[in-house]
Amino acid sequence: MCSPEIEAELAELRADYQAIRAAIAKVVGGAQQYTLNTSQTVMTVTRASLGQLRQMRLELRQEILELEAECAGGQVIQVRPNW
């Protein structure tokens, strides 16, 4: 069970993660630009910024996994092949 503070942080991180996913989908789908407004930043997204967005998405996902593991009382080890 998580503390209310961690639950609130998880909710915020999940909302930011979904906002970034939506921004990526819009730009990949053909939008020239898209305004991304998360709890941490407001930025205009273009094709040129897709790499940065994808990195942000990965970092948020990792934070979410770590907090979820903390709530579950264990650890999550994520293994990614390097090929």
Domain at 63, CATH number: 3.30.1580.10
SS3 17: helix
Q: Dihedral through CA 36, CA 42, CA 44, CA 50, nearest 10?
A: -60
pLDDT of the residue at 15: 94
Side-chain half-sphere exposure of 73, counting CA atoms within 13 A: 1
Which residues span the domain enclosing 63? 4-72
Mean residue pLDDT across the chain: 89
pLDDT in tens, the chain (83 residues): 788 999 999 999 999 999 999 999 999 999 999 998 887 788 899 999 999 999 999 999 999 999 998 888 866 566 777 87
- The answer to whether position 32 is within a domain reads yes
Count of domains in the chain?
1
Cα separations in angstroms, 6 against 36, 45, 73: 24, 29, 13
